[in-house]
């Protein structure tokens, strides 16, 4: 077993004359959730379709557990589970009938099908719905069944394309929890264009924009990518807001409902030091200075503009 369950090497693909992805290099370990983030049309779906063997790349290589996907497609695909954005459910079947069908097409031995179906229903929390038609399930439970078909054959890699799209907040929370449980035993690729979904679910992130990877690191590093541009301060003897607003580098001052103050600034990393020094000099009795992280949307915008201005 290699160090990575997935490796891509200089992956390119184009439709007619337009490149959809260029020089995509990804390495994924054997467990955990990797977020594939990008705006609509960025190249996420093309990348995932290539990783799952649905689409042949123009150039480059994909290895699944060190098996060349193009050279040995059947062997490599046995290691994969895939849930596309629209789950491939047969709505006229019951949950049991559908998962039994999926077990057979995944080449699970006949004598092991029943136990495989029971195990995956339990894992995905749909045991009570075995006899119910898929058409009668809520969106959240349909997604659970979609995830169940993707893991019924115990793949080493599960690829999920927008798995929480269209779900309500409670269903989203339940599906996130299920995905994190699955990732304790195998690698999961979680694709989304919604930043908060990736933040809540993933350990690492690969951001694709304009067909190229513009960020590759941990979720924590992604959150910290942009330096803070605002801070929260609390003082027992605060000055007038106008006095804070004229400090060089301060753009805006807000008085919050709990009497703390938000200071927006730019162009200087020493604003907090200035606030501390001025508080001592003027007896503002400062007791809190907390830098605020930039929003994920700001990070996304900066990373996107960095390469594609």
Model confidence pLDDT, tens digit, residues 241-270: 999 999 988 999 999 988 899 998 876 568
Total number of domains constituting the chain? 2
105 & 245 share domain: no
Return the top range by mean pLDDT from 93-102, 139-148, 197-206, 221-230. Answer: 93-102
Which tokens hold the place of 234? 């609390």
**Closest C-alpha among 151, 164, 56 to residue 103:** 151
The domain spanning residue 136 has which CATH number? 3.40.50.300
Average pLDDT for 174-202: 90
* Residue 80 belongs to domain spanning: 6-223
DSSP 163-227: TTTT--HHHHHHHHHHHHHHTTTSEEEEEES-HHHHHHH-SEEEEEETTEEEEEEEHHHHHTSSP
**Closest C-alpha among 3, 2, 12, 4 to residue 61:** 12
Quote the distance between the C-alpha of residue 50 and its chain's center: 18
159 & 139 share domain: yes
Which tokens hold the place of 199? 């933040």
Model confidence pLDDT, tens digit, residues 22-31: 999 999 999 9
255 & 218 share domain: no
In a domain, 301, yes or no: no
pLDDT of residue 126: 95
Average pLDDT for 213-229: 82
The domain spanning residue 236 has which CATH number? 3.30.70
Q: What is the mean pLDDT of the chain?
A: 90
Label residue 16 exposed, middle or buried (CB < 10 Å: 0-12, 13-18, 19+): exposed
pLDDT of residue 296: 62
Tell me the pTM: 0.77
- In this structure, what are the phi and psi dihedrals at residue 167, rounded to the nearest 5 degrees? -90, 155
């Amino acid at each position: 077993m290699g160090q990575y369950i997935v490796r891509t090497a200089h992956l390119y693909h184009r439709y007619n004359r337009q490149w959809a992805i260029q020089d995509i290099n990804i390495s994924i370990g054997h467990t955990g959730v990797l977020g594939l983030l990008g705006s609509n049309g960025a190249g996420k779906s093309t990348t995932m379709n290539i990783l799952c063997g649905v689409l042949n790349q123009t150039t480059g290589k994909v290895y699944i557990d060190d098996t060349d996907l193009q050279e040995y497609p059947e062997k490599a695909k046995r290691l994969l589970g895939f849930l596309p954005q629209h789950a491939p459910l047969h709505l006229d079947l019951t949950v049991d009938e559908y998962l039994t069908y999926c077990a057979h097409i995944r080449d699970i031995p006949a004598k092991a099908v029943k136990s495989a179906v029971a195990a995956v229903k339990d894992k995905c929390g749909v045991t009570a719905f075995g006899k119910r038609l898929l058409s009668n399930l809520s969106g959240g439970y349909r997604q659970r069944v979609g995830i169940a078909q993707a893991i019924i054959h115990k793949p080493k890699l599960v690829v999920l394309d927008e798995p929480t799209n269209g779900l309500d907040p409670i269903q989203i929370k339940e599906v996130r929890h299920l995905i994190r449980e699955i990732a304790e035993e195998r690698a999961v690729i979680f694709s989304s264009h919604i930043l908060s979904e990736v933040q809540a679910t993933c350990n690492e992130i690969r951001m694709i924009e304009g067909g190229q990877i513009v960020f590759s690191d941990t979720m924590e590093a992604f959150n910290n990518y942009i330096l803070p541009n605002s801070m929260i301060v609390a003082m027992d003897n605060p000055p007038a807001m106008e006095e804070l607003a004229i400090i060089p580098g301060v753009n805006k001052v807000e008085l919050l409902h709990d009497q703390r103050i938000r200071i927006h600034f730019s162009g200087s990393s020493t604003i907090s030091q200035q606030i501390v020094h001025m508080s001592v000099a003027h007896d503002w009795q400062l007791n809190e200075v907390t830098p605020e992280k930039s929003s994920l949307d700001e990070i996304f915008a900066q990373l996107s503009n960095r390469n594609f201005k």
